[in-house]
Amino acid sequence: AELMTRWVQAGAYQPFFRGHAHHDSQRREPWVFGDETLKLLRSATAARYALLPYWYTTFHEARVTGMPVMRTMWMEYPNDEKTFSIDDQWLIGSDLLVKPITRPGATSSHLMVVYLPSQHVWYDADTMTAAVVDNQNLSFISCAIDKIPVFQRGGSIISRKLRLRRSTEMMKADPFTLYIALDAEYKANGNLYLDDEHSFDFQRGHYGSASFAIEDFVLSNKYSSSTNYKGKGGEIERIVIMGMPRLPARVYIEDKEQSEMMFSYDEKTQILVIRKPDVIVYDDWKISLEVN
């Protein structure tokens, strides 16, 4: 059960995610390992599917630029010699760093070392707080059985869909949640690629891209499409900002100052959550965070 759990956790953050075995091998469906393991496998799978907007965007980037979806550390950090020999952690695109736990018998009492390049602040994808590193840029992470060490790069904006569905077809019109990881200058940016998720119409230009950016505590979106493509849904239902230094007095859409938004802020973790901002990815907009 432990090997199966760690295998699925690692596979959830690789481009090809599929359980496969010879027809004469032992059964290995998630439910044959017991309820506790089933919960862990379900959690890892849910994390993978929540990231489908990011996977889709990264695959589009691979098609356009030739950069692989799953990248070695040195590919993103060619001037950092410490990354040259690292072969047990990788990046998905440029914004997610993954180091699966592969040590047999590892538990919460064991610690694993992750190298986090010093050019960026890195946020734990589970706690959404900045990772603590030593003077060698090493972070020590608990090896609890439910832990998948994943970190979001400071300066990035990643889109997720958080509603659990029976198929990806049912997710198409689901709303997005933006995860914004601020860098040391409180800036971040990111893209979201959008098409019909089914046909080859993207080859004829039927797709669009939402470009998110935050600077001077103003979050903006610029949508572009050569064919004016707009798909189903597109609502943003939540915005999570990591590394927010202080509580804003108010949050509102520029040009609509009466449209103040609901939000909550945790001073200890420095996480700001904006709920129901009433914007969609297919429109241009600016959301102002009034910080004194």
Could you count the other beta carbons within 10 Å of the beta carbon of residue 66?
A: 7
Whether residue 265 is predicted with pLDDT greater than 90 in this model: the reply is yes
CA distances from 189 to 94, 119, 193, 220, 244 (A): 12, 16, 14, 9, 15
For residue 146, report the phi and psi dihedrals to the nearest 5 degrees. Answer: -95, 10
Cα–Cα distance, 129 to 271 (Å, whole number): 8
Q: Which residue has the tokens 């060619």?
A: 78
% of the chain with per-residue pLDDT over 70: 100
**In this structure, what token pair is assigned to residue 50?**
């929540």
DSSP string, 132-186: P--TTSEEEEE--TT---EEEETTEEEEE-----SSSGGGTTPPEEEEEE--TTS
pTM of the model: 0.95
**In this predicted model, what pLDDT tens digit does every residue of 169-219 receive, in sequence order?**
999 999 999 999 999 999 999 999 999 999 999 999 999 999 999 999 999
pLDDT category at 22 given cuts 50, 70, 90 is confident
Q: What pLDDT shows up at residue 272?
A: 98
CA distances from 28 to 46, 106, 231 (A): 18, 22, 38
pLDDT category at 257 given cuts 50, 70, 90 is low
Q: What pLDDT shows up at residue 53?
A: 98
For the segment 27-56, the average pLDDT, to the nearest whole number, is 94
